[in-house]
Structure 1
Amino acid sequence: MLIDSHCHLDFEALAADIEGVMARAAAAGVTGMVTISTWVDKFSTYADIAERFPNVWCSVGTHPHNADQELHIQTEDLVRLSAHPRCIAIGEAGLDYFYDNAPREAQEIGLRRHIAAARITRLPLVIHSRQADDDMAAILEEETGQGAFPFVLHCFTAGMDLAQRALALGGYISFSGIITFKNAKEIQDVAAMVPADRYLVETDAPYLAPIPHRGQSNEPSFVRHTAEKVAEIRGVTLEQVGRESTANFGRLFAKSGVK
């Protein structure tokens, strides 16, 4: 049993064949997935998908690429929308210094508003962090000092320092198909180190398809390849990774009801 903790079922590559996507996921042993918000103003789209499929949940949040275009979204908006019964997380929000598609100031403002919403609702914050390790760690430590909140560093691509600092704050780390790439040694080292009760697996579909599907459109069924690689790295069975990652998902995303 596996859960894809982060995908984008509203994106055209998946939405155009949603029934096939769901069937292939079920055949691969993927029992649930979270379709992640990138625009708060499109929340109804994510909620509709989650309402349509009983094993799909959604989140509410603004991707850092879009931060400057949703500065009108306030913490109270996130809190209000997150009350939807199928919404189990805040985000994704964070810092992306690789693309810098939005001004860094806007990204930080958005991130802090999402943190406040996670603190109020106790729903986990799904964090996007790319080439922003120092600033992300500093913000997480500062904000946790003002009151703890649940969070996961999704699609982890950072270094050991951010991983250890996030874990020290009670955070979780989620691994995507990137972990199967040959040049992912540092991420693999983090996967070997992370405690058994603090990791998740995901696809970030339709992006970042794992080996042996690299270059193709990614989809939730492919999370099995990521889980297999995590099992190899940790020296355990795929079944154990399935049990641990699913239990971790249920603990972090408690509103899902997964045990």
Structure 2
Amino acid sequence: MEHGIDHMLCVSIDLESYPAMLELVEPFASISTSVGVHPNDRDRREPSVEELVELAAHPKNGAIGETGLDYYYVKEDLEWQQQRFRTHIRAARECRKPLIIHTRDAREDTIRILREEHAQEVGGVMHCFTETWEMAQQALELGFYISFSGIVTFKNAEELREVASKVPLDRILIETDSPYLAPVPFRGKPNEPGYVSYVAEKIAELRGLSVEEITKITTDNFYRLFPASR
């Protein structure tokens, strides 16, 4: 692939679009998928544990998610979102695939539910991480990886850069979250997978390593977490 990209993981946000996503990636050995329903939209069809497990059995599937909690827009009546999160964790445990976790303004409940549902049995990644070092430590204790997006290049992301400088190198990942959150110098424009190299450059700078070293570290970490993507 161009830009030094070895593999791409297309992350699911709902069940309605999942068949089309599978059809899109089917011809490409270097692209895999996850299956899940994003926490933001209450109107999306609710999955069952059994349905998620069945869909995750597809050979292109490497993970369960995107799932988690997002209290940025939803401030009350949160039970439906928490139950959706629990459903995904239970499915991941049943099919033995890692979780892709979205969390925003929901630190305590995210960690609490991960613990209550024994998510450490399968682990996963805290995707597009924007939270505190304290939360990162709690996630690391549960066996999760911490993934950084283009946000780490933003001028106002000093606290996040501090977190990125502390995460153990064997638990760090990089991503784009395309088409959102394009890194500097493309901020405000549509993001694309190739821009992950700018995230690698920033992480390398923070860790005092070369881009080549960070690229190898994060690639090795990716395949360790998502072995089905090989």
Shorter-chain TM-score category? Answer: over 0.9
Please tell me the root mean square deviation across aligned C-alpha atoms, in Å.
Answer: 1.6
Retained in 2: the 8 A contact 1:208–1:218? Answer: yes
Gaps of 5+ in 2: none
2:21 alignment partner AA = Y
Residue in 2 that maps onto 1:128: 102
Distance 1:53 1:123 in 2: 21
Describe the superposition over 1:39-66 as per-residue Cα deviations: whole angstroms up to 9, x where unpaired.
0222101211220322111110000012
For the Cα contact (< 8 Å) 2:123–2:142, is it kept in 1? no
Q: Hey, what's the Cα distance between the residues in 2 that align with 1:193 and 1:126? A: 21
Other-structure match for 2:122:
149
Correspondence 1:78 to 2:52: yes
Q: Contact (CA 8 Å) 1:209, 1:215: kept in 2 or not?
A: yes
Match of 2:15 among 40, 47, 53: 40
Structure-2 residue corresponding to 1:118: 92
CA–CA distance in structure 1, aligned partners of residues 13 and 107 of structure 2: 21
Residue 209 of structure 1, aligned match among 182, 191, 195: 182
Q: Deviations over 1:225-251 (max 9, x none)?
A: 001101111111111111110111001
Q: Which residue matches 2:63? A: 89
Q: Distance in 2 between matches of 1:168 and 1:237?
A: 28
- 2:34 matched residue in structure 1: 59
SS in structure 2 opposite 1:178? helix
User: 2:74 and 2:180 mapped to 1: Cα distance?
Assistant: 18
One-letter amino acid of the structure 2 residue matched with residue 246 of structure 1: T
Q: Is the 8 A contact 2:204 2:214 kept in 1?
A: yes
| Count, aligned residues | 230
1:140 maps onto 2:123 in alignment: no
The one-letter amino acid of 2:184's match is I
Contact 1:49 1:56 in 2 (8 A): no
Q: CA deviation at 1:110?
A: 0.8
Normalised TM-score (structure 1):
0.85
Q: For 1:65-85, what per-residue CA distance to the aligned partner results, in whole angstroms no more than 9, with x for missing partners?
A: 1245322x1011000000111
- Tell me, in whole angstroms, the C-alpha distance in 2 between the residues paired with 1:29 and 1:101: 41
Counterpart AA for 2:220: A
8 Å contact from structure 1 (residues 40, 62) kept in 2: yes
- Residue 249 in 1 paired to residue 222 in 2? yes
Aligned partners of 2:216 and 2:124: how far apart in 1?
20
Q: Tell me what 1:28 maps to.
A: 3
Matches within 5 A, 1:211-250: 211-250=184-223
Whole-angstrom CA distance in 2 between matches of 1:104 and 1:231: 38
Q: For 1:129 and 1:120, how far apart are their aligned partners in 2?
A: 22
- Letter aligned with residue 214 of structure 1: R
Match of 2:162 in 1: 189
Return the alpha-carbon distance in structure 2 between the equivalents of residues 85 and 169 of structure 1. 27
Greater relative contact order: 1 or 2 (C-alpha under 8 angstroms, separation 6 or more)? 1
- Residue 194 of structure 2 aligns to which amino acid in structure 1? S
- Tell me if structure 2 keeps the 8 A contact 1:46–1:59: no
Instruction: Give runs of ≥4 in structure 1 deviating > 6 Å.
Output: none
Query: d(CA) in 2 for partners of 1:27 and 1:56?
Result: 14
